[in-house]
Amino acid sequence: MLAATPNPAESHALWRLAETEGIGPMGFRRLLTLHGSGRSALEALPRLLAKRETPARIPSLDEARREADAMARLGARFIFWGSADYPPLLAMLADAPAMLAVQGDAALLSQVPSFAIVGARNASAAGRRIAEDIAEALTKAGVLVISGLARGVDAAAHQGALRAGPALAVLPGGLDVAYPPENAALQSRIGREGALVAEHALGTAPLARHFPKRNRIVAGLSLGVLVVEAAERSGTLITARLALEAGREVFAIPGSPLDPRSRGANDLIRQGAHLVESAADVLAHLPEAPRDAPLFALPMTSEIPIPEDIPPEATPGEYGHLIDLIGMSPISVDDLLRRCHLSPPALQAALADLELEGRVDMLPGHRVALTGRG
């Protein structure tokens, strides 16, 4: 287990490790498992990256120092996977971020109970109103409300929560990037009165590939997710699916069958999501802990287990059986675990090594696919 607040040298090393292209969350864990600290892992990294067909640049110490100084000016700090202050619910995800940038009250990330409210960006006035009202009522009941600061339902949920207490927002870009621009004042207020969370470095503009990653953090920090309005094909439903895969409860507001914005939520209810008309419906079904963690998820413990059945210096050829099972189309890591006859720690180690070598990509939603580069 890392220290709650690593010293500056260790923090710089962990940041450089997390920001190296191709490392990924599982590679980060694998390196810490084998080497025990960020500094030791960083020393070993060039040798490991030499196996890659395409080079990966390791950020410099000066870059790490500049990022830390800029974070300090924002009143923000980093939380690294494996540290005592890393949010335990999020740590249960197999693809939990290696590093979180947090502005505001970092203790909120570990507050339980916690609950996410998400929905359409082009939400109706009624949808925004119910998101506000439920968020306010849940906050008064001691539940931390989380959302993604998008326009529409997300913004309404944050505003409702702030009427009664703090709010937590997960951003798709850097902490210092206001997105969408019209929510800049709201983002600033949440940073003062609650907490802002980002997986990306300062100055990172939101890109399409960032939003599913943001959604997995929203789901991972929460015991349940409420969908207020969502079309049949929308990012909101991605958040609901990620919540289900993480063993979290899914809730939905029913809507008119004539409104396309209600079709996604109505379909979730048909599939078994809890029907919600008020905060009382949420409180009645909000669990104390996730129902079933994914087979592949490893709990946070005082020591990071070192896999015994895959050697640290394993070569790519030893993973041929896994490569045969993984294709260009994403496959659930849980499905892969059932088919490969490895233990969860051994599979974690193998996938982390393959990711380091640039042969597989770890994708949001606990999935993996070949990169096509090797």
In tens, the pLDDT along 106-142 reads 999 999 999 999 999 999 999 999 999 999 999 999 9
**Contact status, residue 301 vs residue 158, Cβ threshold 8 Å:** no
Q: Which residue reads 């008309």 in tokens?
A: 277
Say what the pLDDT of residue 75 is.
94
pTM: 0.82
Which residues lie closer than 8 Å to 307 by C-beta, 6 or more apart? 33, 343, 345, 346, 348, 349
- The mean pLDDT value for 281-304 works out to 65
Of 95-104, 157-166, 268-277, 348-357, where does mean pLDDT reach its minimum? 348-357
Neighbours of 288 (CB within 10 A): 7
- The mean pLDDT value for 11-30 works out to 89
d(CA 372, CA 358): 9
Segment (H or E) for 148: none
Residue 327 pLDDT class (50, 70, 90 cuts): confident
As given in the structure block, the two tokens for residue 234 are 């929308």
Residue 309 pLDDT class (50, 70, 90 cuts): very low
CA distances from 224 to 38, 81, 287, 321, 372 (A): 33, 22, 8, 37, 36
Residue 350 pLDDT class (50, 70, 90 cuts): confident
- The mean pLDDT value for 268-297 works out to 86
Residue 10 pLDDT greater than 50, yes or no: yes
Say what the pLDDT of residue 315 is.
40
Express as a percent the part of the chain with pLDDT over 70.
90
Tell me the Cα Rg of the chain. 20
Question: What stretch(es) of the chain map to CATH 1.10.10.10?
Answer: 316-370
Q: What share of the chain is helix, strand, coil (3-state, %, to 5)?
A: 45, 15, 40
CA atoms within 13 A on the CB side of 332: 12
Say what the pLDDT of residue 372 is.
64
Question: What stretch(es) of the chain map to CATH 3.40.50.450?
Answer: 113-285
Which residues lie closer than 8 Å to 325 by C-beta, 6 or more apart? 331, 336, 339, 340
Residue 314 pLDDT greater than 50, yes or no: no
Residue 374 pLDDT greater than 50, yes or no: no
- Angle, helix 38-49 to helix 8-19, in steps of 10 degrees: 30
Segment (H or E) for 226: strand 224-227
Buried b (16+ CB within 10 A) or exposed e, 63-99: ebeebbebbeebebbbbbbbbebbbebbbbbbbbbbb
Per residue in 62-104, pLDDT tens?
999 999 999 999 999 999 998 989 999 999 988 899 999 999 9
- What CATH number labels 113-285? 3.40.50.450
Residue 18 pLDDT greater than 80, yes or no: yes
Say what the pLDDT of residue 292 is.
65
Task: Indicate the SS3 state at residue 139.
Answer: helix
CATH architecture type of domain 316-370: Orthogonal Bundle (1.10)
Task: Indicate the SS3 state at residue 336.
Answer: helix
- The mean pLDDT value for 262-278 works out to 95
- The mean pLDDT value for 214-240 works out to 93
**Residue-averaged pLDDT of the chain:** 87
Task: Indicate the SS3 state at residue 113.
Answer: coil
Say what the pLDDT of residue 317 is.
46
251-255: long-range contacts, CB 8 A cutoff, minimum separation 24: 251/224, 251/225, 251/226, 251/227, 251/275, 251/276, 251/281, 251/282, 251/285, 252/226, 252/227, 252/228, 252/276, 253/127, 253/130, 253/226, 253/227, 253/228, 253/229, 253/277, 255/127, 255/229
d(CA 126, CA 341): 51
